Amino acid sequence: MLRIRLNPYHVTAVYPYLDTLEMFFPAAFAHGEEYRREVRGAVRNCHDRYGGWSGQRFMVQRPNPDTVLWLDYLAQKFAGIVRRFDVAYDLQAEDCAVLRRVIETQALLRWQPTTNIICMHEVGNSLDANTLYWGWSNVRPLRRNLILYSDRACKITGEFPNVHAELRFMGAAVVRQEGILRPRDLLTLNPCQLFHKHLKFSDAGARFVKRRLRAEVVKDRHQHHGHELSPFMDQYRASLARRVETMLRVAGWHRSQKLKHEGVMEKRLDKPLTVPFTIPQRLVWERSGNGGGGIET
């Protein structure tokens, strides 16, 4: 297993792996007796916009290479299509809370749509246990997304704590754009190139907050210059920077993706940073007896 000792965020290990693989089999092939005999496991019916049966989808969680090759065989025999794949990056660090905040505030998802979606949507009740989506739509799932959470153990080693970042690609057209024409293409996928193609890091959010704090403090000084203030007012003014920073963070303006989505990121703030960890060039695969190839039920 490849373990990497890195700085400056003290990331000790990076494990990229295939988290989800989903296949679609057209109705013309999915109704046959031979198909039902060979495609064992949980399948779900798919319907077109008019309610007619269009085929079946078959989803596998954390497949191993043998499962991928089996799905490749089925795809060739029954005209199956790779409809979705998720590549996860489990990162272990000396301080996973700090690493999560770095990714949350600095990671920018390239080419994200800016209409009809909610930017940086959190699901959960706890600040540390929330699952963070870079984009969210109440109508239909986004074709391309980044998901982040840190309240579970590493799915490869079982170690805790762990930061889990996941790139999701949904839809046959999006999958083909990544060069995945059949399941076996995932065996040679380069997770490092995929990560750098779709993500970049920028500290625009932190610099935006700092600039707004400075502007509010200067404005407050001009307003009260030469005025005699009560002790209460003097104490209230002393907490101005903390209050402004809290309001900006609650509204999400400390996140670079929020600035990009709202179109307020200036070009001089859009300076990319070096990714704070190194990603291996090849996927890590689980052994067959270690939970790999689980079929969704």
Per residue in 102-111, pLDDT tens? 999 999 999 9
What is the residue range of 76's domain? 11-200+276-295
Global model pTM greater than 0.95: no
Q: Which residues pair with 53 in a beta bridge?
A: 47
Q: Which residues pair with 81 in a beta bridge?
A: 24
Burial zone of 82 (CB within 10 Å; 0-12 exposed, 13-18 middle, 19+ buried)? buried
Provide the Cα torsion 61, 67, 68, 71; round to 10°: -100
| Percent of the chain surpassing pLDDT 90 | 46
In a domain, 1, yes or no: no
Q: How many domains does the structure of the chain reveal?
A: 2
Q: At 112, list the tokens.
A: 């994200």
In a domain, 186, yes or no: yes
168 and 92 housed in the same domain: yes
* Phi/psi at 65 (5° precision): -55, -35
219 and 282 housed in the same domain: no
Question: 55 pLDDT exceeds 50?
Answer: yes
In a domain, 2, yes or no: no
In a domain, 96, yes or no: yes
Of the two residues 186 and 12, the one the predictor is more confident about is 186
Q: At 175, list the tokens.
A: 């999958």
155 and 236 housed in the same domain: no
pLDDT-derived band at 127 (thresholds 50, 70, 90) equals low
35 and 168 housed in the same domain: yes
The whole-chain average pLDDT of the chain stands at 86
**pLDDT value at residue 43:** 87
118 and 44 housed in the same domain: yes
**pLDDT value at residue 283:** 95
172 and 64 housed in the same domain: yes
136 and 87 housed in the same domain: yes
Of the two residues 192 and 157, the one the predictor is more confident about is 192
pLDDT-derived band at 289 (thresholds 50, 70, 90) equals very low
In a domain, 122, yes or no: yes
In a domain, 5, yes or no: no
Reported as type and span, the H/E element at residue 28 is helix 27-30
Q: Is 4 left (phi over 0), alpha (psi -120 to 50) or beta?
A: beta
